[in-house]
Structure 1
Amino acid sequence: MSEITSEFELICSKSDMAWTALQRQYADRLTAPEIDFLFARLVLGLTAPFYAEREPALHFTACNALVGRKLPPERAHAALRTVPKAGEPWIERAFDLAEEHGTKIAATLKEQRDQTDQINAKADAAHRELSSGAKEHVG
């Protein structure tokens, strides 16, 4: 499995949970375009620690794929390209907070993944060392 695939899979479940939470929390207080854009901003935050320093097209593709998992194509397109006029002032701040929250979640996920990768690399090295030592004693 490629690193890009595993990163995407890592954030998919968080993205799905975020969509559900946004629907529950804001369905009666925001318009559909506002919720869609709020979700797109959260997804932008979720993907930033993994993709922001890579090719911009790859980052956009990841955002598009995640948003497209929950929204039909025309709504996903609008959510990723159009800022809806906020019905109330607090909504604009909510857009920024959603992205910040997504970034914090993803930074924690990335840190945990990196720590796990380091532990696995050390375990693999120890296993190789033990295996080669065992072969020397047997041979």
Structure 2
Amino acid sequence: MSKEISEFEIICSKVDAAWAALQTQYAERLTAAEIDFLFSRLVLGLSSPFYAGREPALHFDVCGELVGRKLPPERVHAALHAVPQPSQPWVERAFDLAEEHGAKIGMTLAQQRDRTDHTDAKADAAHRELSSGAKEQVG
């Protein structure tokens, strides 16, 4: 499995949970366009630890794919290309906070993945060492 696919899969579970949380918390308080944009900002933050250092077009495409898991194409386009007029004074700050919160979650996921990769690499090295030692004893 390629690293990009595994990163995408890692992020997907959090994207699904984020959408559900936004619906629960804001469905009665914000417009659909505001929720969609809030979601896109959260996805941007969530994916940044994995993709921000790469080609910007790749990161943008990943965001589009992730947002598209919950929104139809026309809403994905609007969420990624247009900032809705805030219906309430606090909403604009919520957009920034969503991205910050997503980035914190993404950073935690990236660190967990890195620890797992490091542990797996150590286990693979130990296995190779044991396997080569066993072959020497047999041979």
TM-score range, shorter chain: over 0.9
Give 1:32 deviation, angstroms: 0.2
Q: How many aligned residue pairs are there? A: 139
| Structure 1, unpaired ranges of 5+ | none
Give 1:24 deviation, angstroms: 0.5
| Structure 2, unpaired ranges of 5+ | none
Residue of structure 2 in register with 1:72 after alignment: 72
Give the Cα separation in 2 of the matches to 1:98 and 1:124. Answer: 38
Q: TM-score, length-normalised on structure 1?
A: 0.99
Q: How do residues 1-139 of structure 1 correspond to structure 2 at under 5 angstroms?
A: 1-139=1-139
SS at match of 1:130: helix
CA RMSD of aligned residues (A): 0.4
Q: TM-score, length-normalised on structure 2?
A: 0.99
Partner AA of 2:113 in structure 1: R
Partner AA of 1:118 in structure 2: H
Show structure 1 runs of 4+ deviating over 2 A. none
Give 1:138 deviation, angstroms: 1.0
Identity over aligned residues, as a percent?
Answer: 74
Q: Once the two structures are superposed, what CA deviation does each residue of 1:103-135 show, in whole Å capped at 9, x if it has no partner?
A: 000000000000000000000000000100011
